[in-house]
């Protein structure tokens, strides 16, 4: 019965879908794509700064994952393995461009549900723009670790899997990234 998952894609655990996709089940892999495509796209968008590039590289990352899936040894969660592929795809693209940009946060910023007064809304918009400007000034390795931790809410262990780092290195790089961001923010306020 476990193998007979619902065809609508709503039932079944992640492990079931991964197991079936590793065996060559395209529908199972389509379900994995459906479950992860928005997060992978959002991450690539913020790393690359281009909607078109992010769309193309999201597709590339999933193609690479499909091709590598039969040989993959699940030492980590599927999500972290997929983000490692996406991250490497982004870094390759950035190296090719030799240019690093950042997508404005306001394009994807979700404000709280209640409608704030215009003054509060202006302050929030100003703060987002200042943060966006500061993030543009960060080195890619600082930006990527902050995005994985603060936006994608990955654990230190998951980030380590994505970036091929041990947990201690993740913590120290994250600390350095936060300090760099604070320093950039302080300089911009002076």
Residues 49-67 pLDDT 10s: 789 999 999 999 999 999 9
pTM value surpassing 0.85: no
The angle, 0 to 180 degrees and rounded to 10, between the axes of the packed helices 78-97 and 14-22 is 70
Using the Cα atoms of residue 136, residue 139, residue 141 and residue 146 in order, give the sign of their dihedral. negative
Residue bearing tokens 């040989």: 71
- For 102, residues 6+ apart whose C-beta sits below 8 A from its C-beta are 46, 49, 132, 135, 136, 143
Select the highest-mean-pLDDT range: 29-43, 60-74, 148-162.
Answer: 29-43
What is the number of other CB atoms lying within 10 angstroms of the CB of residue 135? 20
Nearest to 35 by CA among 85, 90, 82: 82
Quick one: CA torsion of 30, 36, 42, 44, rounded to 10 degrees?
-70
Residue bearing tokens 């997929």: 82
pLDDT-based confidence at residue 6 (cuts at 50, 70, 90): very low
Given a contact cutoff of 8 angstroms between Cβ atoms, the answer to whether 78 and 62 are in contact is no
């Amino acid at each position: 019965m476990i193998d007979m998952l619902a065809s609508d894609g709503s039932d079944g655990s992640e492990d079931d879908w991964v197991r079936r996709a590793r065996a060559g089940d395209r529908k199972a892999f389509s379900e994995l794509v459906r479950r992860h495509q928005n997060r992978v796209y959002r991450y690539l968008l913020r790393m690359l700064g281009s909607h078109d590039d992010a769309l193309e590289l999201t597709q590339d990352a999933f193609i690479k994952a499909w091709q590598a899936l039969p040989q993959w040894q699940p030492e980590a969660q599927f999500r972290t393995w997929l983000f490692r592929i996406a991250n490497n795809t982004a870094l390759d693209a950035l190296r090719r461009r030799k240019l690093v940009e950042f997508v404005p946060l306001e394009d994807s910023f979700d404000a709280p549900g209640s409608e704030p007064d215009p003054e509060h809304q202006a302050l929030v918009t100003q703060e987002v723009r200042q943060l966006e400007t500061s993030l543009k000034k960060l080195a890619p390795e600082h930006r990527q670790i902050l995005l994985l931790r603060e936006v994608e809410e990955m654990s230190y262990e998951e980030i380590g899997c994505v970036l091929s780092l041990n947990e201690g290195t993740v913590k120290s790089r994250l600390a350095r990234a936060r300090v760099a961001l604070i320093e950039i923010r302080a300089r911009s306020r002076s």
